[in-house]
Amino acid sequence: SDPTVLLDRADGVATITLNRPDKLNSFTVEMHAALAEALAAVAADETVRCTLMTGAGRGFCAGQDLNDRAVAPGETMPDIAESIEARYNPMIRAVRDLRMPVICAVNGVAAGAGANLAFACDIVLAARSASFIQAFCKIGLVPDSGGTWTLPRLVGPARAAGLMMLGDKVPAEQAAQWGMIWRVVDDEALMDEARGLARHLATQPTTGLALIKQALAASATNTLDEQLDLERDLQRRAGATDDYAEGVRAFLAKRPPAFTGR
């Protein structure tokens, strides 16, 4: 059978494609394992300086494959906290911990954990026909995969509550207007645009970008004083990179910089 996740590496970009198109790339135990393996391979590969995540077919990801949660009346549901702990939470942590920018090209519907996986990425592009759905409330669940953390920060608590309690389908345009994503791209241009952005980012100061990612994540819970201290510490590390020295030299010489990511 086809691999449930595809991993391609070229030009400093790792492209991870969720690949269960007939089931809108919904998560099975097998697809989780394949995604975890791909994310680990990317993390361990020094040549990769940007990750691009997308989905095969007409959907991005429909969240948990609910076929694996079918129980007859009277039967007991498995403890799904184990699934969260063993698979969904490590997935979100792995994306957050990648020391490089992660672009998500949302090619179609992103529902449940599929939507929240997208929101865990650093820069989200969406096809004009794509949509985002906090589908959890419609089946009696709570948004997971970090959604209750990312969404209020992206759209504010009022909109987050409406999105999570009503489960409406949010079209890509509205998602962009509300600040849930970076931008909308015409369907046929999505992958070219996403690849171009990824290749550009793969030539940029990777360590500096990874430190920006850390600063943004910490800002959600830090006080201003804590964040000022963190900026000092991260700037110490950024300032010690080869890329900072190169950036300054290139600026002063009025030439384009040649960054190595270190």
Residues making contact with ligand T3D (CB under 6 A): 23-24, 26, 62-67, 69, 80, 83-84, 88, 109, 111-113, 133, 135-136, 139, 141, 144
Minimum distance of ligand T3D from residue 22's CB (angstroms): 7
Q: 180 near 154, Cβ under 8 Å?
A: yes
Minimum distance of ligand T3D from residue 110's CB (angstroms): 8
Does residue 165 sit in helix, strand or coil?
helix
> What is the phi/psi pair of residue 8, to 5°?
-125, 135
What contacts 130, CB < 8 A, 6 or more positions away? 60, 106, 107, 108, 109, 110, 171, 172
> What is the phi/psi pair of residue 165, to 5°?
-95, -20
Indicate the residue whose CB is closest to ligand T3D. 63
Residue with Cβ nearer ligand T3D (17 or 206): 17
Minimum distance of ligand T3D from residue 50's CB (angstroms): 26
Beta-strand (E) ranges in 37-101? Answer: 50-55, 59-61
- Do β-strands 123-127 and 102-106 pair in parallel, antiparallel, or remain unpaired? parallel
> How many Cβ atoms are within 10 Å of 213's Cβ, its own excluded?
18
Residue with Cβ nearer ligand T3D (63 or 208): 63
Minimum distance of ligand T3D from residue 163's CB (angstroms): 14
Using alpha carbons, list the distances in angstroms from residue 163 to 5, 63, 134, 157: 29, 16, 6, 10
Distance, CA of 166 to CA of 135 (rounded, Å): 8
Minimum distance of ligand T3D from residue 30's CB (angstroms): 14
Minimum distance of ligand T3D from residue 102's CB (angstroms): 19
Largest CA distance in the chain: 74
